[in-house]
Amino acid sequence: MEIETTPVEVIVSKTVKLTLNVSVVEKETGNKITDVDLKVIDSDGKTIAEKNTGLENTAVFRFTDDGDYQLSAMHEDYIYELVDLPSTGIQDIEVEMEKIDLSNSGKIEVEVVDEDNSPVKGARVKLRFLDTDMLVPIEPEITNRSGF
């Protein structure tokens, strides 16, 4: 007796619950800002998606899971922005970023010392936001032989 088999194609997919169409503009002028690094962060502070707007000044994100998300936007010439995101639907998000100048920026100098008050060379230094305790989204700095 011969057994017959028939191939069956099954497509499994999740429903997209949130679509974000993101663009970034300069706060003062409304001009498009290109080459902005975007990250979507969940409620635990974990990056779940990242894209760059490139020259087109847009990025699209699609999510199949519910969650409380925030969008971070970073560009070397602008102040970092963090935006609370809606949880469902198709959303057009325009992020406004403020250009960095002497009136809205500063410099932080950190010295790392050990228990004997001696400089620590090679320590990784990261900053946290005081109000949210989330890490500031910049690469850590490594201290020099003077502990700075």
The identity of residue 79, as a single letter, is I
What distances in angstroms separate CA 118 from CA 99, 113, 143, one per listed residue? 38, 5, 13
CB-based burial label for 75 (10 Å; 0-12, 13-18, 19+) = buried
96 pLDDT exceeds 90? Answer: yes
Tokens 């090679």 belong to which residue?
122
Residue 13: per-residue pLDDT: 73
- pLDDT-derived band of residue 147, with 50, 70 and 90 as boundaries? confident
pLDDT in tens, 74-86: 998 998 899 998 8
Q: What is the pLDDT of residues 9-64, one digit of tens each?
A: 877 778 888 899 999 999 999 999 999 999 999 888 889 999 999 998 999 999 98
78 and 97 Cβ atoms separated by less than 8 Å = yes
pLDDT of 136: 76
Helix (H, G, I), strand (E, B), or coil: what is residue 141? strand
> Which tokens go with 4?
């017959």
Tens digit of pLDDT for each residue in 119-129? Answer: 999 998 888 87
Q: What pLDDT is recorded for position 121?
A: 92
pLDDT of residue 72 exceeding 80: yes
Whole-prediction pTM: 0.69
- What confidence score (pLDDT) does residue 29 get? 95
